[in-house]
Amino acid sequence: MAPKSFIAALVLICVLLLTPSVYGFPFSKESGVTELTPATFSSFIDTHKPVVILFYAPWCGHCKNFHPEYEKFARLVKGSIRVGAVNADTHSSLGQQFSVRGFPTIKYWSSGKNNAPVDYNNQRSAGALQQTVLGDVSQARVKKASGKDELESIVRSAPHKKAAVLISSKTKVPALFSIASLSPKLKDIIFVFVGGVTADKYAELGVSTSPTILFIEDGGEGLKRTVFKGKEIAYDPIARFFLDCATNGTSTEETDNAAPAAEPEHNEPKANPPLAPEALAKNSLRDFCTHSSVKVNGKIPLCVIGLQRTIDLNALHDTFSRDSVLFFDASGSLGELKTALKDDFSFTDGEIDKLLEKNTVVVFRSSKKNLVRYTGDAAGTTAEINDFLQHVLNGEVRLLKKTL
């Protein structure tokens, strides 16, 4: 009879072999954590948003233990904070540049590369990391008003007579609102926080609930108010609302670029999705990139179409192999691509020419019936396109919409 110690060891080996890995290095893009390289690092921190970066080594036990908390943190702050990771074992130059001497090392920038990085030395938990980083967000561009008269006075005296306003029962300015105020795209808008509002003051301020987000503009004929009616209080829809209002738009539609929820499917897939980049064929877009075609990893895929032979689609596929992304090479079949854009996505000749004129890749996602989201990228190198796709998957690139 075999010794008990041998049997126990054998059982342990079997358990380890049959248990799937839960740590997933490198991070998938859909985790909300962007894997960075020396080629993509600088552009990633080029933002007004806070940036948090984990320097790790895949063999590091503490890194593995922190992995699920870091992903949880990325989900909690999605849209308002850029969350990245660097395999400093592979990219040792980045580790040396930022004086990384052990793993895991966490550094954060309170407002992108406009600020020097700070070492995070608090508890390694999603909540503690969130509290620390958001606590360092500057409120310098947020003005405070105590009531209706002061609020209206601030709007009328603003250089461009436009204000993003948050009315809340709470007394502290939310970090999300402060982060939006730092956006260079919203620099012409005054941000005003009216806090500590009790229910008996709602009518005076013209609101019915707390919090209320609105845009106020003095057009010379009185103050015009537009209330945010989005379903989700999150950075992307709120920033888009303010930008649309500031540019004479009134759209309050939420952005949905990163990972749209899959709608129920009733049609069988027409074909199995490709396991590697393949040449674009006549029916590729119809079979793989329309609403009723296929899902990849349980989600409607982002279809990436290369337009030039200089793009290494195989390298991109290796990077994004764990994400819901499909790659097609149209460098030798632009005619088929144009036909597919007409037949499957109802593009006109003018729209096609504009889309294909200067771009090296185009991306599509058809997450809803009769609607496709798309954009192109004119980056010249595979590394730049890699960075672009990471931003698309993280919801940091606003895709254009077309009704089919």
Q: How far is CA 94 from CA 41, 110, 188, 309, in A?
A: 9, 19, 36, 30
**Does 172 reside within a domain?**
yes
Cα 291 → chain centroid: 22
Ranges of the chain whose pLDDT falls below 70: 1-23, 249-271, 293-294, 297-298
What is the domain-level CATH number for residue 54? Answer: 3.40.30.10
* 399 and 282 housed in the same domain: yes
Of 136, 168, 194, which residue is a domain's last? 136
Question: pTM of the prediction?
Answer: 0.62
**Does 321 reside within a domain?**
yes
* 197 and 156 housed in the same domain: yes
CB 271 within 8 A of CB 260: no
The two tokens of residue 322 are: 């764990």
Of 100, 119, 136, which residue is a domain's last? 136
* 365 and 316 housed in the same domain: yes
How many residues would you count in the chain? 404
pLDDT of 371 = 82
- Compute the distance between CA of residue 259 and CA of residue 119 in angstroms, rounded to an integer: 31
pLDDT tens digits for 103-127? 999 999 999 888 899 999 999 999 9
Q: Dump the DSSP string for 157-187.
A: HSTTSEEEEEE-SSSSPPHHHHHHHT-GGGT
**Does 29 reside within a domain?**
no
* 108 and 78 housed in the same domain: yes
**Does 353 reside within a domain?**
yes
DSSP classification of residue 131: H
* 119 and 83 housed in the same domain: yes
Total tally of structural domains belonging to the chain: 3
* 296 and 378 housed in the same domain: yes
* 60 and 43 housed in the same domain: yes
What is the domain-level CATH number for residue 338? Answer: 3.40.30
* 69 and 104 housed in the same domain: yes
DSSP classification of residue 299: B
- Compute the distance between CA of residue 260 and CA of residue 291 in angstroms, rounded to an integer: 12
Of 136, 163, 189, which residue is a domain's last? 136
**Does 3 reside within a domain?**
no
**Does 6 reside within a domain?**
no
What SS3 class is residue 8? helix
Range of the domain at 323: 278-403
**Does 2 reside within a domain?**
no
pLDDT of 3 = 58
* 105 and 211 housed in the same domain: no
* 351 and 387 housed in the same domain: yes
* 102 and 49 housed in the same domain: yes
* 149 and 128 housed in the same domain: no
CA-nearest of 217, 254, 219, 216 to 235 is 254
**Does 265 reside within a domain?**
no
